Amino acid sequence: MQTPAPVDYVRATSVADALSLLQQHGEEARILAGGHSLLPMMKLRLARPDILIDINDLDELRGIKVEGNEIVLGAMVTHAEILASPILAEHYAIFAEAEHLIADPIVRNKGTVGGSMCQADPAEDLSAVGAALGGSVVIQNADGRRTVPMRDFHEGPYETKVADGEILVEVRYPIRPGAGSAYEKVERRAGDWAVCAAGAFVVLNGGTISDVGIGIGAVNAPHFTAPDAEAFLIGKEPTAENLAAAAQMAADVCEPSSDQRGPEDYKKHLAMELTRRALTRAAAAAKGA
């Protein structure tokens, strides 16, 4: 049985305390939230921190609320809480659709939005959702807070804008009245990482698309999205032809790798088809002005 290397452990009592501990222990310290991403990597010795800083007692990082025209999720909000949230259900069906497809109830009850975002796995579902919705993340360090657009947050596989000595504390999503949204995913078995996934939101005004977002996961779309396909749809009617053309543009920017989940051409076809389906359902659900 694989086991992690020896590691020290401490429970933080506040965000300020966690930041102090990070500063004290340097780059070999890691934050422990749900642990569903970090602990498997530790068992494989792919991650070998000297100390784990447990933030599970930090209620200041919990809760889902509306502030102005944004929905704010604390970094310690679990997948199960996202799935059950009436606030998220009111504004974006994409959350429940994505969360139903993430792992299993055991993982959803413990895994957190902050942990998922910071793991930055190329097939991570909430990263595709966040890219589609054009959300942002709030990162805190000893000097204060900074906000990073979610489409700039990931610097590559397993790499983010969170630097040593920093913690992701919030995730924010803009509210778009009347928006329809949807999420599509193909996986080898229930709860598995995606072979390909796509999410979208659509806002209609006078029968034409006034705002749209596309998020694509697991197929190496730059920053999980396809801005040229989004720009193509602005001002156009949500016809089957227009949505299909945009979906093809989205697939064209993807650069998937052939692996045990399938060959490159199959994954590019999935990117086109799942984007088309997500856009079609999002447009159908949109409440036009």
Q: Hey, is 204 helix, strand or coil? A: strand
Q: What is the pLDDT of residues 136-181, one digit of tens each?
A: 999 999 999 999 999 999 998 989 999 999 999 999 999 999 999 9
Q: What is the pLDDT of residues 90-137, one digit of tens each?
A: 999 999 999 999 878 888 999 999 999 998 899 999 999 999 999 999
Q: How many residues does the chain have?
A: 289
Q: List all residues 6 or more positions away from 65 whose beta carbon is below 8 Å from its beta carbon.
A: 71, 72, 87
Report field, pTM of the whole predicted structure over 0.85: yes
Domains and CATH numbers, the chain: 8-54 (3.30.43.10), 63-174 (3.30.465.10), 180-285 (3.30.390.50)
State what percent of residues in the chain have pLDDT above 90: 81
CA 283 from centroid of its chain's CA atoms: 21
Q: Do 58 and 12 contact (CB within 8 A), yes or no?
A: yes
Cα 177 to Cα 64, 70, 97, 123, 279, distances in angstroms: 18, 11, 19, 29, 17
Q: Do 64 and 96 contact (CB within 8 A), yes or no?
A: no
Q: Find the DSSP H helices in the chain.
A: 15-25, 38-43, 79-84, 86-91, 93-99, 105-110, 113-119, 125-133, 150-153, 227-233, 240-252, 264-285
> How confident is residue 27, by pLDDT bands cut at 50, 70 and 90?
confident
> How confident is residue 1, by pLDDT bands cut at 50, 70 and 90?
low
> How confident is residue 35, by pLDDT bands cut at 50, 70 and 90?
confident
